């Protein structure tokens, strides 16, 4: 229990110890918002994703193959993977922040405590967070072929007859949830960008 309490105390949700308090609070809030959106979507929109995909075909393998063509990667799985990657990134930053504050004073620890090294690692943490957010947004854009997944699509797989039309009954809800997660990612990128600019500004030394 003591170890878990200390971990939560030093956990910074992907932000280093040089991040401002407002930045840490905002990143933490975005993390829980992202988790809440995924949890709600898993219980409603994506619970029976394939069953809500209907095609006007009598072929047995037509609808599953059209569903794979329509959605090769589920946006829920994509953003769930993003959450796992961000959580792993946050744990790595937390472990690094704690390791640089150990009591043992070696030449390596002394180097880690230098302000120049702290600033460089702080900037790398922010840049890596921005890269993760950007990669998943770009992947979502490429998978969906845009920012809005169509409700009706024409299937062209070899398992179907010609002129097969498929309808995704939950396309509107999926788009709303997916775009909400993209907005959260964009907000996280903006916060990290502001923190990156603040880290480049000279700090006033205390009098």
Domain total in the chain:
1
As a whole number, the mean pLDDT across the chain is 79
What is the total residue count of the chain?
A: 207
With beta carbons less than 8 A apart as the criterion, state whether 18 and 120 touch. Answer: no
> Which CATH number characterizes residue 25's domain?
1.20.1440.80
**E strand or H helix at 57, and its extent?**
none
**Residue 52 included in any domain:** yes
Q: Is 0.75 surpassed by the pTM of this model? A: yes
Q: 146: which DSSP letter?
A: S
Retrieve residue 26's tokens. 């905002």
**Residue 207 included in any domain:** no
pLDDT digits 0-9 by tens, 73-90:
888 999 999 999 998 888
Q: Which structural domain, as residue segments, surrounds residue 78?
A: 2-200
pLDDT band at residue 38, thresholds of 50, 70 and 90? Answer: very high
**Residue 205 included in any domain:** no
pLDDT digits 0-9 by tens, 111-130:
555 556 677 777 888 899 99
User: What pLDDT, on the 0 to 100 scale, is given for residue 70?
Assistant: 85
pLDDT digits 0-9 by tens, 168-195:
888 888 899 999 999 999 999 999 999 8
With beta carbons less than 8 A apart as the criterion, state whether 96 and 121 touch. Answer: yes
């Amino acid at each position: 229990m003591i170890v878990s309490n200390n971990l939560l105390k030093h956990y910074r949700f992907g932000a280093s110890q040089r991040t401002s308090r407002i930045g840490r609070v905002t990143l933490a809030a975005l993390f829980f918002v992202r988790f809440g959106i995924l949890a709600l979507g898993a219980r409603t929109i994506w619970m029976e994703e394939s069953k809500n995909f209907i095609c006007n075909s009598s072929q047995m393998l037509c609808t599953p193959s059209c569903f794979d063509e329509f959605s090769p990667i589920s946006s829920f799985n994509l953003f769930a993977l993003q959450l796992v990657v961000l959580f792993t990134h946050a744990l790595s930053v937390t472990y690094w922040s704690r390791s640089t504050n150990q009591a043992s004073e070696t030449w390596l620890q002394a180097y880690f405590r230098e302000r120049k090294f702290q600033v460089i690692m702080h900037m790398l943490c922010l840049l890596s967070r921005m890269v993760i957010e950007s990669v998943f947004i770009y992947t979502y854009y490429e998978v969906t072929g845009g920012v809005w997944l169509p409700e009706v699509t024409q299937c062209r797989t070899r398992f179907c007859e010609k002129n097969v039309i498929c309808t995704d009954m939950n396309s509107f809800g999926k788009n709303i949830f997916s775009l909400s997660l993209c907005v959260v990612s964009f907000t996280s990128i903006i916060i990290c960008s502001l923190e990156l600019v603040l880290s480049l500004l000279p700090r006033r030394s205390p009098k």
